[in-house]
Amino acid sequence: MNIKWNADKYNRDFSFVHQYGQGVIDLIDFNGKSTAIDLGCGNGVLTKALKEKGLSVTGIDSSEEQLRIARELYPDISFIAADAVSLSVRNPVDIVFSNAVFHWIDKDKQQTMLSSISRSLKEGGQLVFEMGGHGNNSLIHSALSDVFERHGYIYIMPFYFPSIGEYSAMLEAAGMEVTYAVLFERPTELKGDNGLADWIRMFIRTPFSIIGDKEEENTIILEAADILRKNLFKNGKWYLDYVRLRMKAIKSN
């Protein structure tokens, strides 16, 4: 994942990302645990929540834009710039927590990332996370694919959305035992009359790199939004067709 974020807009208009992460924290067993990593910490809001649970926590993210905000908001927490795929720590921790990050990692790098996480956990340590799951934003990606084709382009899916079974096998291969897994729909409200178009501009970046013309890019986004209006615009508000995968796994060896 190599995206330059508009971090201020991200945190202002898409705060639901970390707000929903509060529920993921509830999966953690804090009894006797003292150290944690917030992997893909973003603006540090959830890192702070973990610290408030009594943990010595480090926030790790690849985005310098997000880390700048995190460091300004929470100067008493350590934030480090690093890639999730090559996670490496000097001292293994009790907990690795991650919210809305893993689906950004290419499928062919997922097993490497999970093995790196496993090595970063103590024996019996917990990996607790939520990511986009199988079927996530399927309406949106289907509409974009159709519009790309109409304009003479091929839409390349920029995310990895696995099923419970697929990801469980990968976690087990990395030496972790799955103790909790749920795949669920979570329609998510967006802000403003142009909420969906703004979301596409913020989060779906790499497929548009082949276009190179901002006017045509904007036309494609608006055409896709027009297609999606009948299903995702309800009672004057835009909604995302989110499907989330929430899991917990324990390092077994």
Residue 151 lies in a domain: no
Task: Beginning with the edge strand found earlier in the chain, give each strand of the sheet holding 176-185 in spatial order.
Answer: 78-81, 56-61, 35-39, 93-99, 121-132, 243-251, 176-185
> Total structural domains in the chain?
1
pLDDT of residue 253: 66
- Provide mean pLDDT across the span 218-229: 98
Residue 209 lies in a domain: no
Name the percent of the chain in helix, strand, coil, to the closest 5: 45, 25, 30
Residue 19 lies in a domain: yes
pLDDT band at 23; cut points 50, 70, 90: confident
CATH of residue 34's domain is: 3.40.50.150
DSSP state, 235?
T
Average pLDDT, the chain: 92
Q: How far apart are CA 218 and CA 211, in angstroms?
A: 11
pTM over cut 0.75? yes
- pLDDT tens figures, 135-164: 999 999 999 999 999 999 999 999 999 999
The fraction of the chain above a pLDDT of 70, given in percent, is: 91
